[in-house]
Amino acid sequence: MTAVGTDLLYAGLTKAVGTTVHGRDGSVNWRIVALLASGSVPVSAATLLALHMLGLRAEATSVLISFVLGIALLATAACLLLRNRLIGLAAANDLSPERQTMLTVLVGGVVGALVSISSVGAGAIGATALYFLYPRLPAKMIVGSDIAHAVPLTLIAGSGYWLLGSIDWGMLASLLIGSVPGIIAGSASARRVPDAVLRPILATVLALVGARLVLV
């Protein structure tokens, strides 16, 4: 539980930087962000309340969090592996504005529950859903909007864990200190390694960790 809460605050702080960059470049659709947040924020609050009532340190809560985290990791791995095929299917999608709005709020709610329980779901899963709902939106706008939505969601969910006493501040400081050189090194390496190589490696790691959490 402490790991989830700490990761949420860390994600909120780091994604805020990414949102600033994307917002400055004009690659954030704030209407989509608002629709996603209108679903994710209340669901996140309700999920945290439910976890509090169950007892964050209860064995049943720990098992639930591990299971949901495993499922979220497996789903993220699938989204990474099937990304190109899913985007191709999305291109044929044509929703009415009303249905598009309703489904966007619904996606926000689902992501809000996943993120609040496991800290996973606001990345590959959210972006893949947006590709289906907005197939004509440029990819950079999908990415920018997904990152921008993750900021209020992860900060609110992380703050909920903070109020429940499940944040490791030493771990959070270490993550933030190490993230800057890590991001620089990772970005430099990513430019040299093809996406076709990186994506299966990342998906395999996520799938192995997710399967272990689900099956143990």
Q: Which two tokens stand for residue 58?
A: 């209860």
**Of the spans 38-42, 157-161, 199-203, which averages the highest pLDDT?**
38-42
**Of the spans 146-155, 166-175, 184-193, 207-216, which averages the highest pLDDT?**
146-155
Nearest-angstrom CA–CA distance, 73 and 208: 9
Rg (CA), the chain: 17
Q: Report DSSP letters for 43-106, one per residue.
A: HHHHHHHHHHHH-TTSHHHHHHHHHHHHHHHHHHHHHHHTHHHHHHHHTT----HHHHHHHHHH
**What are the tens digits of pLDDT across the range 115-128?**
888 776 666 677 77
Do residues 47 and 117 make contact, with C-beta atoms less than 8 angstroms apart? yes
**What are the tens digits of pLDDT across the range 98-112?**
888 999 999 999 888
pLDDT bracket for residue 187 (50, 70, 90): very low
Structure confidence at residue 71 (pLDDT): 74
Which pTM was predicted?
0.73
Structure confidence at residue 190 (pLDDT): 47
All residues at 6 or more sequence positions from 100 whose CB lies less than 8 Å from its CB, including other chains:
133, 134
**What are the tens digits of pLDDT across the range 43-82?**
999 988 887 777 656 666 667 766 777 777 777 777 767 7
